[in-house]
Amino acid sequence: MNERVTTSIDNHVATVMLNRAAKRNAVDLAMFSALAETAESLRNNPSVRAVVLCGDGEHFCAGIDTAVFQNDGNDVSLTEMLEPVEGSTANFFQSAATVWHDLPVPVLAALQGSVFGAGLQIAMGADLRYASPDVRMSIMEIKWGLIPDMGITTTLAGVVPIDRVRELAYTGRIFSATDALDFGFVTEVIEDSLSKAQNVAAKIASKSPDAIRAIKKLINDSWKDDPASSLRREAILQAAVMAGENQAEAVRANIEQRPPRFRDPT
Protein backbone atom coordinates (compact mmCIF):
# COMPACT_ATOMS: atom_id res chain seq x y z
CA MET A 1 0.00 0.00 0.00
CA ASN A 2 1.46 3.39 -0.82
CA GLU A 3 1.87 6.18 1.73
CA ARG A 4 -1.15 8.19 0.54
CA VAL A 5 -3.46 5.98 2.64
CA THR A 6 -2.76 4.27 5.96
CA THR A 7 -4.68 1.31 7.36
CA SER A 8 -4.85 -0.22 10.81
CA ILE A 9 -7.07 -3.08 12.01
CA ASP A 10 -8.14 -3.52 15.62
CA ASN A 11 -10.79 -5.90 16.94
CA HIS A 12 -12.32 -6.46 13.49
CA VAL A 13 -12.52 -2.73 12.65
CA ALA A 14 -10.27 -1.29 9.93
CA THR A 15 -9.41 2.41 10.12
CA VAL A 16 -8.49 3.83 6.71
CA MET A 17 -6.93 7.29 6.79
CA LEU A 18 -6.29 9.67 3.89
CA ASN A 19 -2.70 10.58 4.68
CA ARG A 20 -1.88 13.88 3.01
CA ALA A 21 -2.64 16.46 5.68
CA ALA A 22 -0.24 19.08 4.27
CA LYS A 23 -2.40 19.17 1.12
CA ARG A 24 -5.70 18.95 3.06
CA ASN A 25 -5.83 15.35 1.84
CA ALA A 26 -6.37 16.46 -1.75
CA VAL A 27 -6.63 13.43 -4.03
CA ASP A 28 -3.80 13.00 -6.52
CA LEU A 29 -3.33 10.04 -8.85
CA ALA A 30 -1.38 8.13 -6.21
CA MET A 31 -4.20 8.56 -3.69
CA PHE A 32 -6.82 7.47 -6.22
CA SER A 33 -4.82 4.26 -6.68
CA ALA A 34 -4.24 3.81 -2.96
CA LEU A 35 -7.92 4.09 -2.09
CA ALA A 36 -8.92 1.40 -4.58
CA GLU A 37 -6.02 -0.85 -3.53
CA THR A 38 -6.85 -0.44 0.15
CA ALA A 39 -10.49 -1.32 -0.35
CA GLU A 40 -9.55 -4.39 -2.37
CA SER A 41 -7.24 -5.62 0.40
CA LEU A 42 -10.03 -5.18 2.95
CA ARG A 43 -12.49 -7.02 0.70
CA ASN A 44 -10.14 -10.01 0.82
CA ASN A 45 -9.76 -9.92 4.63
CA PRO A 46 -12.62 -11.90 6.20
CA SER A 47 -11.68 -10.73 9.72
CA VAL A 48 -12.75 -7.15 8.90
CA ARG A 49 -16.35 -6.48 9.95
CA ALA A 50 -16.52 -2.68 9.64
CA VAL A 51 -14.41 0.15 8.20
CA VAL A 52 -13.88 3.70 9.46
CA LEU A 53 -12.84 6.11 6.70
CA CYS A 54 -11.22 9.37 7.84
CA GLY A 55 -8.69 12.04 6.95
CA ASP A 56 -5.49 13.02 8.72
CA GLY A 57 -5.28 16.54 10.14
CA GLU A 58 -7.96 19.23 10.07
CA HIS A 59 -9.70 18.20 6.83
CA PHE A 60 -11.28 15.07 5.44
CA CYS A 61 -10.51 15.89 1.81
CA ALA A 62 -10.39 19.22 -0.02
CA GLY A 63 -11.06 17.62 -3.41
CA ILE A 64 -8.94 16.71 -6.38
CA ASP A 65 -5.34 17.88 -6.55
CA THR A 66 -5.12 20.31 -9.48
CA ALA A 67 -1.91 18.56 -10.58
CA VAL A 68 -4.15 15.75 -11.83
CA PHE A 69 -5.36 18.07 -14.60
CA GLN A 70 -1.78 18.25 -15.91
CA ASN A 71 -1.50 14.44 -15.74
CA ASP A 72 2.20 14.90 -15.01
CA GLY A 73 4.34 11.80 -15.41
CA ASN A 74 1.43 9.52 -16.31
CA ASP A 75 1.58 7.46 -19.49
CA VAL A 76 -2.19 7.04 -19.70
CA SER A 77 -4.33 10.00 -20.80
CA LEU A 78 -7.11 11.29 -18.57
CA THR A 79 -9.61 10.40 -21.29
CA GLU A 80 -8.42 6.79 -21.27
CA MET A 81 -8.73 6.76 -17.47
CA LEU A 82 -12.45 7.50 -17.84
CA GLU A 83 -12.97 4.04 -19.32
CA PRO A 84 -14.08 1.27 -16.92
CA VAL A 85 -11.35 -0.56 -15.06
CA GLU A 86 -11.01 -4.18 -16.16
CA GLY A 87 -13.50 -6.33 -14.26
CA SER A 88 -15.48 -3.34 -13.01
CA THR A 89 -18.23 -0.99 -14.14
CA ALA A 90 -16.38 1.94 -12.52
CA ASN A 91 -13.43 3.81 -13.98
CA PHE A 92 -10.16 4.78 -12.25
CA PHE A 93 -11.59 7.94 -10.66
CA GLN A 94 -15.00 6.50 -9.77
CA SER A 95 -13.43 3.52 -8.04
CA ALA A 96 -12.03 5.70 -5.23
CA ALA A 97 -15.63 6.37 -4.14
CA THR A 98 -17.62 3.35 -5.30
CA VAL A 99 -15.28 0.80 -3.67
CA TRP A 100 -16.63 1.77 -0.23
CA HIS A 101 -20.22 1.30 -1.35
CA ASP A 102 -19.27 -2.06 -2.89
CA LEU A 103 -17.36 -3.45 0.12
CA PRO A 104 -19.36 -6.26 1.73
CA VAL A 105 -19.02 -4.69 5.20
CA PRO A 106 -20.34 -1.33 6.49
CA VAL A 107 -18.14 1.73 5.96
CA LEU A 108 -18.47 4.73 8.30
CA ALA A 109 -16.92 8.07 7.31
CA ALA A 110 -15.69 10.52 9.96
CA LEU A 111 -15.68 14.00 8.44
CA GLN A 112 -14.00 17.21 9.52
CA GLY A 113 -13.10 20.51 7.86
CA SER A 114 -13.27 20.58 4.07
CA VAL A 115 -15.25 17.86 2.26
CA PHE A 116 -15.15 19.23 -1.28
CA GLY A 117 -15.60 17.76 -4.75
CA ALA A 118 -13.87 14.39 -4.87
CA GLY A 119 -13.83 14.37 -1.07
CA LEU A 120 -17.61 14.67 -0.93
CA GLN A 121 -18.02 11.88 -3.46
CA ILE A 122 -15.63 9.58 -1.57
CA ALA A 123 -17.55 10.28 1.66
CA MET A 124 -20.85 9.48 -0.06
CA GLY A 125 -19.51 6.02 -0.87
CA ALA A 126 -19.72 5.23 2.85
CA ASP A 127 -22.80 3.72 4.49
CA LEU A 128 -22.87 6.31 7.29
CA ARG A 129 -21.27 9.75 7.63
CA TYR A 130 -20.57 11.51 10.93
CA ALA A 131 -19.61 15.19 10.60
CA SER A 132 -17.86 17.53 12.99
CA PRO A 133 -19.55 20.95 13.37
CA ASP A 134 -16.73 22.60 11.37
CA VAL A 135 -17.47 20.54 8.24
CA ARG A 136 -18.00 22.44 4.99
CA MET A 137 -19.15 20.53 1.93
CA SER A 138 -19.47 21.28 -1.76
CA ILE A 139 -20.18 19.51 -5.03
CA MET A 140 -17.38 21.67 -6.36
CA GLU A 141 -16.63 20.23 -9.80
CA ILE A 142 -18.40 23.08 -11.62
CA LYS A 143 -15.63 25.39 -10.37
CA TRP A 144 -13.30 23.57 -12.76
CA GLY A 145 -15.85 23.35 -15.54
CA LEU A 146 -16.46 19.67 -14.80
CA ILE A 147 -19.35 17.47 -13.77
CA PRO A 148 -19.35 15.38 -10.57
CA ASP A 149 -18.46 11.97 -11.97
CA MET A 150 -17.19 9.75 -9.14
CA GLY A 151 -20.29 7.62 -8.72
CA ILE A 152 -22.46 10.43 -7.36
CA THR A 153 -25.42 9.30 -9.49
CA THR A 154 -25.47 6.01 -7.57
CA THR A 155 -24.51 7.16 -4.06
CA LEU A 156 -26.81 10.20 -3.80
CA ALA A 157 -29.87 8.59 -5.39
CA GLY A 158 -32.52 8.16 -2.71
CA VAL A 159 -30.37 9.93 -0.11
CA VAL A 160 -30.58 13.60 -1.18
CA PRO A 161 -33.59 15.10 -3.03
CA ILE A 162 -32.83 15.53 -6.72
CA ASP A 163 -33.65 19.25 -6.80
CA ARG A 164 -31.15 19.84 -3.98
CA VAL A 165 -28.48 17.90 -5.88
CA ARG A 166 -29.19 19.98 -8.98
CA GLU A 167 -28.85 23.29 -7.12
CA LEU A 168 -25.61 22.32 -5.40
CA ALA A 169 -24.06 20.81 -8.53
CA TYR A 170 -25.07 23.77 -10.71
CA THR A 171 -23.71 26.38 -8.29
CA GLY A 172 -20.86 24.59 -6.49
CA ARG A 173 -21.82 26.49 -3.35
CA ILE A 174 -20.27 25.56 -0.03
CA PHE A 175 -22.68 24.47 2.70
CA SER A 176 -22.32 23.85 6.44
CA ALA A 177 -22.52 20.70 8.53
CA THR A 178 -25.98 21.75 9.70
CA ASP A 179 -27.14 22.15 6.10
CA ALA A 180 -25.52 18.82 5.21
CA LEU A 181 -27.62 17.14 7.90
CA ASP A 182 -30.79 18.89 6.73
CA PHE A 183 -30.10 17.97 3.09
CA GLY A 184 -29.31 14.32 3.88
CA PHE A 185 -25.58 14.27 3.11
CA VAL A 186 -24.59 13.28 6.66
CA THR A 187 -26.03 10.95 9.27
CA GLU A 188 -25.24 13.05 12.34
CA VAL A 189 -23.34 16.20 13.33
CA ILE A 190 -21.27 15.56 16.43
CA GLU A 191 -18.25 17.20 18.07
CA ASP A 192 -15.90 14.21 17.81
CA SER A 193 -16.91 12.58 14.56
CA LEU A 194 -14.04 10.07 14.59
CA SER A 195 -14.86 8.73 18.06
CA LYS A 196 -18.51 8.44 17.07
CA ALA A 197 -17.66 6.51 13.91
CA GLN A 198 -15.28 4.23 15.82
CA ASN A 199 -17.87 3.53 18.53
CA VAL A 200 -20.59 2.67 16.02
CA ALA A 201 -18.15 0.54 14.02
CA ALA A 202 -17.23 -1.38 17.19
CA LYS A 203 -20.92 -2.01 17.88
CA ILE A 204 -21.42 -3.27 14.31
CA ALA A 205 -18.35 -5.50 14.63
CA SER A 206 -19.88 -7.16 17.71
CA LYS A 207 -22.86 -8.42 15.66
CA SER A 208 -23.05 -11.49 13.45
CA PRO A 209 -20.83 -10.75 10.45
CA ASP A 210 -23.00 -12.95 8.25
CA ALA A 211 -26.12 -10.93 9.07
CA ILE A 212 -24.35 -7.56 8.76
CA ARG A 213 -22.99 -8.43 5.32
CA ALA A 214 -26.42 -9.66 4.24
CA ILE A 215 -28.08 -6.47 5.50
CA LYS A 216 -25.68 -4.31 3.49
CA LYS A 217 -26.22 -6.41 0.38
CA LEU A 218 -29.98 -6.32 0.89
CA ILE A 219 -30.08 -2.53 1.14
CA ASN A 220 -27.58 -1.94 -1.67
CA ASP A 221 -29.35 -4.25 -4.09
CA SER A 222 -32.99 -3.68 -3.18
CA TRP A 223 -33.54 -0.03 -2.35
CA LYS A 224 -34.26 0.97 -5.94
CA ASP A 225 -35.50 -2.40 -7.21
CA ASP A 226 -39.04 -3.47 -7.98
CA PRO A 227 -41.05 -4.85 -5.01
CA ALA A 228 -41.19 -8.46 -6.25
CA SER A 229 -37.42 -8.66 -6.70
CA SER A 230 -36.79 -6.98 -3.34
CA LEU A 231 -39.11 -9.35 -1.46
CA ARG A 232 -37.52 -12.39 -3.06
CA ARG A 233 -34.03 -11.10 -2.30
CA GLU A 234 -34.98 -10.70 1.37
CA ALA A 235 -36.02 -14.36 1.52
CA ILE A 236 -32.92 -15.65 -0.27
CA LEU A 237 -30.52 -13.68 1.93
CA GLN A 238 -32.38 -14.64 5.09
CA ALA A 239 -32.25 -18.34 4.19
CA ALA A 240 -28.49 -18.14 3.73
CA VAL A 241 -28.03 -16.35 7.05
CA MET A 242 -30.24 -18.81 8.93
CA ALA A 243 -28.24 -21.73 7.55
CA GLY A 244 -25.01 -20.36 9.03
CA GLU A 245 -23.35 -21.05 12.36
CA ASN A 246 -23.28 -17.38 13.35
CA GLN A 247 -27.06 -17.11 13.43
CA ALA A 248 -27.30 -20.11 15.75
CA GLU A 249 -24.56 -18.59 17.91
CA ALA A 250 -26.48 -15.29 18.16
CA VAL A 251 -29.51 -17.19 19.47
CA ARG A 252 -27.44 -19.23 21.96
CA ALA A 253 -25.62 -16.15 23.24
CA ASN A 254 -28.89 -14.30 23.86
CA ILE A 255 -30.45 -17.27 25.65
CA GLU A 256 -27.31 -17.83 27.74
CA GLN A 257 -26.93 -14.08 28.37
CA ARG A 258 -23.28 -13.94 27.26
CA PRO A 259 -21.32 -12.15 24.53
CA PRO A 260 -21.53 -14.02 21.20
CA ARG A 261 -18.48 -15.72 19.72
CA PHE A 262 -18.87 -15.22 15.97
CA ARG A 263 -16.76 -16.85 13.27
CA ASP A 264 -15.31 -14.79 10.44
CA PRO A 265 -17.07 -15.38 7.09
CA THR A 266 -15.33 -17.76 4.72
- Weakest mean pLDDT among 104-108, 184-188, 250-254: 250-254
**Which CATH number fits the domain that encloses residue 232?**
1.10.12
pLDDT band at 258 (very low <50, low <70, confident <90, very high): very high
* Residue 154 reports pLDDT greater than 90: no
Is 122 among the domain residues? Answer: yes
One domain, residues 97 and 11: yes
pTM of the model: 0.89
One domain, residues 136 and 212: no
Is 261 among the domain residues? Answer: no
One domain, residues 169 and 252: no
Is 265 among the domain residues? Answer: no
One domain, residues 200 and 218: no
Which residues touch 50 (CB under 8 Å, ≥6 apart)?
A: 12, 13, 14, 105, 106, 107, 108, 201, 202, 204, 205, 212
One domain, residues 106 and 137: yes
Total domains present in the chain: 2
Burial of 57-70, coded b for 16+ CB within 10 Å and e otherwise, reads: bebbbbbbbeebee
pLDDT, tens digit, 9 for 90 and up, residues 100-139: 999 999 999 999 999 999 999 999 999 999 999 999 999 9
Last residue of a domain, one of 187, 204, 221: 204
One domain, residues 163 and 217: no
Q: Which domain holds residue 155?
A: 5-204
Q: What is the mean pLDDT of residues 67-75?
A: 70
One domain, residues 72 and 194: yes
One domain, residues 143 and 232: no
Q: Which residue has the higher pLDDT, 36 or 87?
A: 36
* Residue 250 reports pLDDT greater than 50: yes
* Residue 46 reports pLDDT greater than 60: yes
* Residue 222 reports pLDDT greater than 90: no
